[in-house]
Structure 1
Amino acid sequence: MSSSSRLSSILLLFLFVFTLITASEGNFYENFDITWGGNQRAKILNGGQLLTLSLDKTSGSGFRSKHEYLFGRIDMQIKLVPGNSAGTVTTYYLSSEGPTHDEVDFEFLGNLSGDPYILHTNVYSQGKGNREQQFYLWFDPTKAFHTYSIVWNPQCVIFMVDNIPIRVFNNMESMGVPFPSNQPMRLYSSLWNADDWATRGGLVKTDWAHAPFTASYRNFNANACIWSSSQSSCASKSTNSLQTTAWQDQTLDAPGRNRLGWVQKMFMIYNYCTDFKRFPQGLPPECKRSRFL
């Protein structure tokens, strides 16, 4: 065999091995536990590359990450319940445990066929939430997979959709505003019935004739610091070996701020920081500091 042939064979072998390695990255079997709904409603398919959650009149379903994270970037591609999804909620969030827990929420509120989903976001720190922002999306989230990301570092929390920032919650602990900075969090997701509030404040109920309702997940990636409770420390790790730890000091640059402004101008439908009726004694202190919340 010539030297060029041997080189070609080595390159093909390397590509084959690399394909096997990357195929296992983000594997749902390796990274998640089914927490409720059982194998009947929560299913891991395609060798661990796809996960589906279903909701019927008996029960919903959910999963959570095996690891806890203390800062990082979490990405997941999700395709939401199609058709008449009114009354259903698909959640995707980071959360710690306990009465003073931290939490970073994506919640997708279903709607009647032809009406848009509402993307509901919230941030809890030290058990305190009430920081809701809601958006319509600029696409139909039931037709294809889209990437929903949480960037969490000591400076800020950034919510992103297809790598476009839609919300930023900055660390303003110096102003007395609690920030999720010291509690490791797991990633959770669930599909459940919330027709007492989810669609038009509970006016539209779930139509069980359309059940089971199903949401699909793929291409999970955690470029994050994995927490070790035994050592009370964490180690940076990514399910994608080609990624770096750029998330550690990531904030929005000028183009990012422009994209954020576009989303908030065109697609935001509720912002707690402009709800003066809800806060008659004055808006929360973080609302007075930055419009990027």
Structure 2
Amino acid sequence: MAFSYISFDSQKTRLFLTFTFQLLLLFVHQSRATNFNKHFDITWGGGRGKIIGDVLTLSLDRVSGSGFQSKKEYHFGRIDMQIKLVPGNSAGTVTAYYLSSQGPTHDEIDFEFLGNSTGEPYTLHTNVYTQGKGEREQQFRMWFDPTSKFHTYSIVWTPQTIIFLVDETPIREFKNMESIGVPFPKHQRMRLYSSLWNADEWATRGGLVKTDWTQSPFTASYRNFGVKARSVLFGLDSTRDQKLKWVRENHMIYNYCTDTKRFPRGFPPECTVKV
């Protein structure tokens, strides 16, 4: 039996494979790219919010910050956004990323990133409002540099639970505990909002470190927005539960459920439930 061999020019083959791989990467990138004009309106900032290609940026200077909101309202689901936070000396600035309804009895699910002095870690501030009442703050130190590249911040909201995720690592879960009298945000539709603004009266070390305006404009960047608008089944399996415990034990710096000065007469009822 005779065998025939096909000879390839190795350099041409490498070029062909490289070109094919680059096309594949381009296809994947485009499939994940976000048409921000389709999903969001820049609502304030006098031109400080910009959409360039598949990236949206918000900026803050001494005159004004900026912000955007989703065109649609959502009622349960999962919201994902990749964010690259303000680099360098961002003390006094706050980058807020949250779901909220409107009115005095609004519901709200908050990520807030509190700026830092150069070399210090960001503080990730979370809160849950129901019927206009919040006071459920938990804060964390970031275990990575959130300014060097994009990281994914997700809110999973179902009738049973709210889960905050950072790069798929759960940092907080707020369960539906209406059975013991704890209100849960489930009746109002919410829009997604984000803003970059000056809060140097409280944001960094309780307001001790002020905004250094010589560093402005401060800029945060966004890409790869994703939403599953319908109610989704998502819980903490054993692996995610272990990650949540790791974050709480190693990176949580404030928990309203342990603040005896704030609640001298006893903690809110949800604090008595083991999580």
The answer to whether TM tops 0.5 is: yes
Q: Which residue of 1 aligns with 2:134?
A: 129
Q: What is the alpha-carbon distance in structure 2 between the residues aligned to residue 185 and residue 192 of structure 1?
A: 21
Q: What is the alpha-carbon distance in structure 1 between the residues aligned to residue 30 and residue 130 of structure 2?
A: 35
Q: Does 1:249 align with 2:263?
A: no
Deviation of residue 106 (structure 1)? 0.2
Q: What is the alpha-carbon distance in structure 2 between the residues aligned to residue 175 and residue 288 of structure 1?
A: 10
Kept in 2, the 8 Å contact 1:177–1:285? The answer is yes
Deviation of residue 21 (structure 1)? 11
Q: Does 1:176 align with 2:184?
A: no
Q: Does 1:44 align with 2:48?
A: no
TM-score by length of 1: 0.83
1:141-160 equivalences in 2 (<5 Å)? 141-160=146-165
Q: Which residue of 1 aligns with 2:38?
A: 30
Q: Aligned pairs, how many?
A: 253
Runs of at least 4 residues off by over 2 Å: 18-26
1:178-222 Cα shifts (integer Å, max 9, x gaps) = 101010000000000000000111111100000000000000001
Larger Rg: 2
SS in 1 for 2:239: helix
1:127-183 Cα shifts (integer Å, max 9, x gaps) = 110000000011000001000000000110000000000000000011111101010
Q: Does 1:263 align with 2:270?
A: no
Q: Which residue of 2 aligns with 1:282?
A: 266
Where does the alignment leave 5 or more consecutive residues of structure 2 unmatched?
1-19
Q: What is the alpha-carbon distance in structure 1 between the residues aligned to residue 74 and residue 256 of structure 2?
A: 28
Specify the code of the residue in structure 1 equivalent to 2:167: D
Q: What is the alpha-carbon distance in structure 2 between the residues aligned to residue 20 and residue 117 of structure 1?
A: 31
Specify the code of the residue in structure 2 equivalent to 1:252: L
Q: What is the alpha-carbon distance in structure 2 between the residues aligned to residue 115 and residue 20 of structure 1?
A: 35
Q: What is the alpha-carbon distance in structure 1 between the residues aligned to residue 30 and residue 113 of structure 2?
A: 29
Specify the code of the residue in structure 2 equivalent to 1:116: P
TM-score by length of 2: 0.88
SS in 2 for 1:53: strand
Q: Which residue of 1 aligns with 2:81?
A: 76
Q: 1:79 and 1:24, CA in 2 relative to 1: closer, same or farther beyond 3 A?
A: closer
Q: Which residue of 2 aligns with 1:5?
A: none
RMSD after superposition: 1.8
Q: 1:256 and 1:63, CA in 2 relative to 1: closer, same or farther beyond 3 A?
A: same
Q: What is the alpha-carbon distance in structure 1 between the residues aligned to residue 95 and residue 135 of structure 2?
A: 19
Deviation of residue 277 (structure 1)? 1.7
Kept in 1, the 8 Å contact 2:106–2:132? The answer is yes
Q: What is the alpha-carbon distance in structure 2 between the residues aligned to residue 209 and residue 125 of structure 1?
A: 39
SS in 2 for 1:149: strand
SS in 2 for 1:286: helix
1:33-85 Cα shifts (integer Å, max 9, x gaps) = 0010032x100001xx1000000000000000000000000000000000000
Q: What is the alpha-carbon distance in structure 1 between the residues aligned to residue 115 and residue 33 of structure 2?
A: 30
Q: Does 1:62 align with 2:67?
A: yes
Q: Which residue of 2 aligns with 1:232?
A: none
Q: Does 1:272 align with 2:256?
A: yes
Q: Does 1:113 align with 2:121?
A: no
Deviation of residue 22 (structure 1)? 5.5
1:94-121 Cα shifts (integer Å, max 9, x gaps) = 0000111000000000010000100000
Identity rate, percent: 68
Specify the code of the residue in structure 1 equivalent to 2:90: S
Kept in 1, the 8 Å contact 2:165–2:171? The answer is yes
Kept in 1, the 8 Å contact 2:100–2:106? The answer is yes
Where does the alignment leave 5 or more consecutive residues of structure 1 unmatched?
1-11, 226-246
Deviation of residue 289 (structure 1)? 1.1
SS in 2 for 1:248: coil
Kept in 2, the 8 Å contact 1:155–1:249? The answer is no
